[in-house]
């Protein structure tokens, strides 16, 4: 089957309309030095079995393999995946890349998305959740744009410097070509966001805070939310580790207007950085400004329950230039995986798992301090902590890699003021033996 089923006559007719003679002329705007001329120098084809062996050899050449224990989170977390998920997600009712525009043939997908929205709204303490955005970073950028739409004439938004560096960069990319201004708010000595300068900023539409933040520190969201609302701005709460809300107060309880973040922890493997899931929720009164798609419940002509897309205001669909979102990718599979994960654990299971993660990190912190290491931020946290050492940690880091352990992320690249300090992550997948091995290497 041809991927481009156009006949030569149809191609000639299209070229005539746009004033071109050959398909090659469509690329005339690309400089010659950026174009490849001639046949590509590709190796000979392999059999399926030879290709599998070749890929295995390439994988074996990596310094870090799947057998290593990685004590790095930084927005992507390794959790055990319940066996219910791979079994259920392989069913044809769920495993599809098709966007469910036609409800009469997509009831299984739509119901799965509806269940996801319900579970997400409960988890985050919000009124309405949508059926996913691309990832946590784009969810934050979309939340800032949403805040500006609600703020109307206001032209400024602020984000915490303790927010994930990649998320901040995506937000800058979104807003750079616009008339809007993005302001970064500093963090103080305890790793929490400092809002002391907030009252001096005029025309502020929204403020985004991450909790737990990039340092693993849990922000005082109730206090921050009140300060943000006092200056007439919207409070956007974002996250990279939704499991924390199994233990800590959810953003809705803390007064958040919009909540967004990354859902990869909920049943998705890391897979070299993808696939990911943007979770997004808000208060009911802001629903029509929400980006992405929203699945609703209805009845058919016979009075039977059914599901449809009730809001899907994306630019290629029904509103075009008035759309609230330009996110076009279908994250449906990731969304339903997250729903399966939340349903598999339930509220009690989520709380117990969060407590296990918390306890393991507290054990790690106490053991590191006992060996002479220091905690950069002495604040309540979850899963992650920034550690400093009296001596150069790099030799110890390399020695631990030889033992199959990747011990932390050096923060100098993202925060020059924290050069030489390491961000560690401990989840339920890290055993006590692994923790003790890391601690034993710290002199």
Q: Are residues 296 and 395 in the same domain?
A: no
Residue where one domain finishes, among candidates 294, 321, 342: 342
221-268 confidence digits (pLDDT tens): 999 999 999 999 999 999 999 999 999 999 999 999 999 999 999 999
Residue 436, domain CATH: 3.90.1150.10
Confidence class for position 325, pLDDT limits 50, 70, 90: low
116-130 confidence digits (pLDDT tens): 999 999 999 999 999
In a domain, 149, yes or no: yes
Whether 316 shows a pLDDT value over 60: the answer reads no
Whole-angstrom Cα distance, residue 86 to residue 337?
9
Q: Are residues 199 and 110 in the same domain?
A: yes
Mean pLDDT, residues 91-97 taken together: 77
Mean predicted lDDT score pLDDT of the chain: 91
Confidence class for position 318, pLDDT limits 50, 70, 90: low
Mean pLDDT, residues 321-330 taken together: 65
Q: How much of the chain, in percent, has pLDDT values that exceed 90? A: 74
- Least confidently predicted of 108-122, 267-281, 305-319, 335-349: 305-319
Whether 50 shows a pLDDT value over 50: the answer reads yes
Q: Are residues 120 and 231 in the same domain?
A: yes
In a domain, 41, yes or no: no
Confidence class for position 419, pLDDT limits 50, 70, 90: very high
Exposed, middle or buried, 75 (CB in 10 Å: 0-12/13-18/19+)? buried
Q: Are residues 123 and 249 in the same domain?
A: yes
Q: Are residues 196 and 245 in the same domain?
A: yes
Mean pLDDT, residues 175-195 taken together: 96
- pLDDT for 96 equals 73
Q: Are residues 240 and 125 in the same domain?
A: yes
Q: Are residues 321 and 362 in the same domain?
A: no
Q: Are residues 186 and 334 in the same domain?
A: yes
Whole-angstrom Cα distance, residue 72 to residue 177?
34
Q: Are residues 104 and 186 in the same domain?
A: yes
In a domain, 157, yes or no: yes
- pLDDT for 1 equals 42
Look up the domain containing 361 and give its range: 69-82+347-441
Residue where one domain finishes, among candidates 342, 364, 399: 342
Q: Are residues 234 and 160 in the same domain?
A: yes
- pLDDT for 182 equals 97
Q: Are residues 97 and 202 in the same domain?
A: yes
Residue where one domain finishes, among candidates 342, 370, 396: 342
Q: Are residues 316 and 408 in the same domain?
A: no
Residue 273, domain CATH: 3.40.640.10
Whether 385 shows a pLDDT value over 90: the answer reads yes
- pLDDT for 37 equals 82
Domain count, the chain: 2
């Amino acid at each position: 089957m041809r991927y481009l089923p156009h006949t030569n006559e149809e191609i000639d007719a299209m070229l005539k309309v746009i004033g071109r003679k050959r398909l090659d002329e469509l690329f005339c705007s690309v400089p010659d030095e950026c174009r490849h001329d001639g046949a590509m120098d590709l190796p000979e084809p392999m059999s399926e079995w030879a290709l599998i062996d070749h890929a295995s050899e390439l994988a074996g050449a990596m310094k870090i393999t799947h057998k290593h224990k990685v004590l790095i989170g930084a927005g992507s977390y390794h959790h055990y995946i319940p066996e219910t998920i791979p079994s259920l997600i392989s069913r044809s009712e769920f495993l599809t890349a098709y966007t469910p525009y036609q409800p009469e043939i997509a009831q299984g997908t739509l119901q799965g998305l509806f269940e996801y929205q319900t579970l997400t709204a409960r988890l985050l303490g919000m009124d309405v959740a949508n059926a996913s955005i691309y990832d946590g970073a784009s969810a934050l950028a979309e939340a800032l744009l949403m805040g500006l739409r609600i703020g109307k004439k206001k032209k400024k938004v602020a984000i915490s410097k303790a927010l994930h560096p990649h998320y901040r960069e995506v937000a800058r990319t979104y807003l750079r070509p616009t008339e809007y201004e993005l302001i970064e708010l500093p963090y103080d000595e305890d790793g929490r966001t400092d809002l002391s300068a907030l009252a001096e900023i005029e025309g502020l539409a929204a403020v985004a805070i991450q909790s737990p933040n990039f340092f693993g520190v849990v922000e005082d969201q109730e206090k921050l939310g009140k300060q943000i609302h006092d200056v007439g701005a919207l409070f956007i709460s974002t996250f990279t580790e939704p499991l924390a809300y199994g233990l800590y107060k959810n953003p809705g309880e803390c007064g958040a207007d919009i909540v967004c973040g990354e859902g990869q922890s909920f049943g998705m493997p890391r897979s070299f950085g993808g696939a990911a899931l943007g979770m997004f929720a808000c208060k009911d009164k802001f629903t029509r400004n929400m980006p992405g798609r929203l699945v609703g419940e209805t009845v058919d002509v016979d009075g039977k329950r059914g599901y449809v897309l009730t809001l899907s205001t994306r630019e290629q669909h029904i509103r075009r230039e008035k759309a609230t979102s330009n996110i076009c990718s279908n994250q449906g599979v990731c969304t339903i995986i997250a729903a399966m994960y939340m349903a598999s654990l339930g509220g009690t299971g989520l709380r117990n798992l969060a407590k296990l993660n918390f306890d393991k990190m507290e054990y790690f912190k106490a053991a590191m301090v006992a060996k002479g290491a220091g905690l950069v931020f002495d604040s309540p946290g979850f899963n992650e902590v920034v550690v400093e050492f009296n001596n150069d940690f790099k030799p110890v880091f390399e020695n631990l890699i030889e033992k199959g352990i990747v011990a932390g992320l050096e923060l100098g690249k993202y925060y020059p003021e924290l050069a030489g300090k390491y961000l560690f992550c401990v989840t339920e997948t890290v055993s006590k033996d692994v923790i003790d091995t890391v601690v034993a290497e710290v002199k």
